[in-house]
Structure 1
Amino acid sequence: MLKNLAVLDSFILKWFRECTPKILVVTDGLNFSAVDDFGLTRFVNALRTSTVHAMTPIVRTALYTPGSGTAASLDATAQHISNFQFTDASHGLLKSRYDVVFLLAITREGGAGLAQEPGAQAAIVNFMQQGGGLFATGDHEDLGAAMCMTIPRVQGMRRWAAADTPSGGGIDRLTTTGPGTNDVFEFADQSDALPQRLYVNFRTSFGVGVAHPVLQVPGAAPARAIEVFPDHPHEGECRVPALLTGKLPDGVTDEWPLATGSTQRVVPEAIALTVSEGNAFPGKAAVAPRSFIPVCAYDGQQAEVGRVVTDSTWHHFVNINLVGLAGRNLSDVQQYYRNLATWLMPKHVRRCWRYPVLIRELVRYPLFEEIRLEPVEKFDGPALHALGEKVEDALQQRFTRGEVAAMVDDALDEMLDARTRQLLDGFHGRYGEVSSRDTGLAALGALTLASGNTALQLQEKGDDVKDAIGLFDEAAAKALRLGIQRYLGDAREGLRRLDEVIGAVLR
Structure 2
Amino acid sequence: MPNTSVLAEPAAVKILMVTDSTASFDRADFGLATLVDVLEAPPGPWVRFEVTKAHREANLPALTADLPAFRFDEHDLAQYDQIWLFGVARAPRPPLDQTELRALAEFMDGGGGVFATGDHEDLGVSLCGDLPRVRSMRRWHWPEPGPNGEPVAPSIDGPDRNDTLSEGHDPLFQLNDQSDDIPQVITPRMYATSDSPKWAHQAYPHPLLCGPRGTIRVLPDHPHEGECYVPDDLTRSFTFDGYEMTEYPAGLAPEVVAWSTINARAAALDPRKGRLDASTFGAIGAYDGHQVGVGRVSVDATWHHFFNVNLVGDPTVPEDPVKSVGFAASASGRAAYEEIKAYYRNIAVWLARPATQEAMWWRAVWATRWHHQVAMDLRPALMGAPERLDLAELLRIGTDVRQVLTATVTKADTLQWAGRYGVGAVDAGLWETVRPHLDPWRPRAGDEEAGHLPNLVLSLLPELVLDAVLGAVVYAVASAFPEPTPDARDRAGAVDWAATVRPHLDRALDVVAEQVQRTDARLRSLGDTLATARRSGD
Is the shorter-chain TM-score for this pair beyond 0.5, marking a shared fold? yes
Supply the distance in 1 between the matched residues of 2:192 and 2:235 (Cα, whole angstroms).
22
Counterpart residue number, 2:81 = 99
> Do the aligned residues in 2 keep the contact of 1:86 with 1:124 (CA within 8 Å)?
yes
Counterpart residue number, 1:230 = 220
1:407 and 2:395 aligned? no
Supply the distance in 2 between the matched residues of 1:500 and 1:275 (Cα, whole angstroms).
50
**In the TM superposition, what are the counterparts of 1:88-127 in structure 2 within 5 Å?**
88-89=74-75, 92-94=76-78, 97-115=79-97, 118-127=98-107
1:87-136 C-alpha deviation (Å, 9 max, x unpaired):
224xx321xx1112211111113414412xx4221222222222222110
Letter of the 2:77 partner, please give it: L
1:362 and 2:369 aligned? yes
> Do the aligned residues in 1 keep the contact of 2:95 with 2:130 (CA within 8 Å)?
no
Counterpart residue number, 2:349 = 342
> Do the aligned residues in 2 keep the contact of 1:139 with 1:314 (CA within 8 Å)?
yes
Supply the distance in 1 between the matched residues of 2:371 and 2:400 (Cα, whole angstroms).
13
Aligned match for 1:166, one of 132, 137, 154: 154
Aligned match for 2:300, one of 306, 311, 314: 311
Q: 1:444 to 1:42 in 2, by over 3 A?
A: same
Normalising by structure 1, what TM-score?
A: 0.82
Q: Name the Cα RMSD after superposition.
A: 3.6
SS in 2 for 1:397: coil
Counterpart residue number, 2:478 = 452
> Do the aligned residues in 2 keep the contact of 1:433 with 1:491 (CA within 8 Å)?
no
Supply the distance in 2 between the matched residues of 1:169 and 1:144 (Cα, whole angstroms).
18
Supply the distance in 2 between the matched residues of 1:187 and 1:146 (Cα, whole angstroms).
26
Cα distance, 1:296 vs. partner? 1.2
1:395 and 2:405 aligned? yes
Supply the distance in 2 between the matched residues of 1:211 and 1:482 (Cα, whole angstroms).
31
Counterpart residue number, 1:29 = 21
Identity of aligned residues (%): 27
Counterpart residue number, 2:509 = 484
The farther-off stretch of 142-151 and 382-391 is 382-391
Aligned match for 1:8, one of 6, 9, 29: 6
Supply the distance in 1 between the matched residues of 2:277 and 2:306 (Cα, whole angstroms).
26
> Do the aligned residues in 2 keep the contact of 1:22 with 1:98 (CA within 8 Å)?
yes
**In the TM superposition, what are the counterparts of 1:141-160 in structure 2 within 5 Å?**
141-160=121-140
Counterpart residue number, 1:261 = none
Q: 1:205 to 1:93 in 2, by over 3 A?
A: farther
- In structure 2, stretches of 5+ residues that fail to align are 145-151, 195-200, 313-325, 329-333, 439-453, 533-538
SS in 2 for 1:61: strand
SS in 2 for 1:20: strand
Counterpart residue number, 1:421 = 432
Q: 1:31 to 1:469 in 2, by over 3 A?
A: farther
Cα distance, 1:337 vs. partner? 0.7
1:269 and 2:256 aligned? yes
Cα distance, 1:382 vs. partner? 4.9
- In structure 1, stretches of 5+ residues that fail to align are 259-263
> Do the aligned residues in 2 keep the contact of 1:240 with 1:269 (CA within 8 Å)?
yes
Q: 1:498 to 1:58 in 2, by over 3 A?
A: same
SS in 1 for 2:69: strand
SS in 2 for 1:82: coil
**In the TM superposition, what are the counterparts of 1:254-333 in structure 2 within 5 Å?**
254-258=246-250, 265-275=252-262, 277-278=264-265, 279=267, 284-323=273-312, 324-326=326-328, 327-333=334-340
The farther-off stretch of 444-453 and 434-443 is 434-443
SS in 2 for 1:134: strand
Supply the distance in 2 between the matched residues of 1:449 and 1:483 (Cα, whole angstroms).
11
Supply the distance in 2 between the matched residues of 1:119 and 1:432 (Cα, whole angstroms).
50
Supply the distance in 2 between the matched residues of 1:328 and 1:128 (Cα, whole angstroms).
35
> Do the aligned residues in 2 keep the contact of 1:132 with 1:346 (CA within 8 Å)?
yes
SS in 2 for 1:84: coil
Aligned match for 1:371, one of 372, 375, 378: 378
**In the TM superposition, what are the counterparts of 1:63-74 in structure 2 within 5 Å?**
63-65=55-57
Cα distance, 1:294 vs. partner? 1.2
Counterpart residue number, 1:242 = 232
Letter of the 1:214 partner, please give it: L
> Do the aligned residues in 2 keep the contact of 1:424 with 1:436 (CA within 8 Å)?
no
> Do the aligned residues in 2 keep the contact of 1:176 with 1:231 (CA within 8 Å)?
yes
Cα distance, 1:500 vs. partner? 11
> Do the aligned residues in 2 keep the contact of 1:187 with 1:281 (CA within 8 Å)?
no
Q: How many residues align?
A: 474
Supply the distance in 2 between the matched residues of 1:51 and 1:290 (Cα, whole angstroms).
34
Letter of the 2:469 partner, please give it: A
